[in-house]
Structure 1
Amino acid sequence: MAALLELSRSGYYKWSAAQAAGPSPTVVRRGGLDAKVAAFHAASDEVYGSPRILADLREDGETVSRKTVAASMRRQHLRGISPRKFTTVTTIADAGRATPPDLVKRTWDTGQLDRVWTSDIT
């Protein structure tokens, strides 16, 4: 059967022994950590990202790194909500201010040299 499926005999026996032994301690810890990460994420109304969940886990007594928490969140497809970046407002239009008259009626190219001159304050 191993030859038909193009598997090595030793690979099959290794897989069979792993199945009989049950989950490894790493897999068990990862499952427990995933459950705690999901619980803390849900408790934060799905707002917290890995740094805040890490702080909650450490407060709860877990010894874990931020990268482990981030990997757990990726496995579970969980994402924190980041605020939008702050953008400064550089121009505030004054509706009551008088605007200068448009003497060229937005016609910049009249076909003749030195007829229309413009400038830019920047």
Structure 2
Amino acid sequence: LRIKADLHEQGERVSRQRIGRLMRQAALVARGKRKFRTTTKVKSSRPVAENILAREFTADGPNQKWVTDITYLPTHEGWLYLATVMDLYSRKIVGWALNERLQTPLVTAALEMAVGRRKPPGGLLHHSDRGSQYTSDVYKQA
């Protein structure tokens, strides 16, 4: 259906049967969309930090409270992962990183960018979900 729609947009009028026949002759097969998989898993053996933020998503000044998360971006070449660090005072993204892999270096790079750009004082509250990237020893050390 996607090929037929693309051809129709270009002004070509062909049936699905003709497209199927031509594809078989050329030994081409359609690739279906990949099924979405949940990829963030928490190891139950890791201790869970206390939720100090407690859904208080405001701050009195910059660099007091940062929150971080990962989002998934579908592209023609597969998933791309975006990790961001946001300052709750200004609501600005102060650090970010993109990667094809959902692993700890992705979130560490976003945190390092935020720290490098903002140079926060001591006492900063940094809040994330309990995904394995954020609970890793490497991330906690960073």
TM-score w.r.t. length of structure 2: 0.26
Q: Which has the higher contact order (CA 8 A, sep 6+)?
A: 2
TM-score for the superposition, normalised by structure 1: 0.30
Which one has a bigger Cα radius of gyration? Answer: 1
Structure with greater helix percent: 1
